[in-house]
Structure 1
Amino acid sequence: MNNSFLKNGNFTGISQAIFIIAGMILMAVIVSININPNWLSIFLFMFGLFLAFFGGFSARAQLSDLRVFGEPDWKRAKRTYTENESNPEK
């Protein structure tokens, strides 16, 4: 299965850019509309801010070699140890 949004447990660069740009566009549209702040405009602005932060933090996680989505190395190693204990080779 080819997943274009995830690669090696992280978001790909294009998906990170989509999150950041979509969040910034949403915030800019909400700010450019000169209406009195109501709950919908505040919610949409905060959602755009969340998207931009999410894209930025996922880029930082990728630079730090953190796997956000996927099995951590220590769980994989723990599973292999328990498999070796249950089936010892002679």
Structure 2
Amino acid sequence: RPESLGIVVGIVYLVIAILFQHFNFTADSIWLVEYNAALASVCFMILLGFIDDVLDIPWRVKLLLPTIAALPLLMAYAGGTSIIIPKPLASYVG
């Protein structure tokens, strides 16, 4: 089916990204972990798109699988998170 040819573009993207990683190798292991986690997530989403084109999976599965695909990114993130709640606009007005 012509719909499932997006996997070719995705594979070309992954090959170029892996070659970029190979030729720009640094000793920074944190960068490599985050980069590989991003590549794993992209690879999983390409696979999900291909499977959706071929098998026509239902919407409830389409909602579940991206959350699983985000797990490598969540596991690789080592920084802290914070939320800054702005003051109401009325407190700035005289």
- TM-score using structure 2 length: 0.43
The structure whose Rg is larger is 1
Q: Higher helix share goes to which structure?
A: 2
Greater strand share, structure number: 1
TM-score (normalizing by structure 1): 0.45
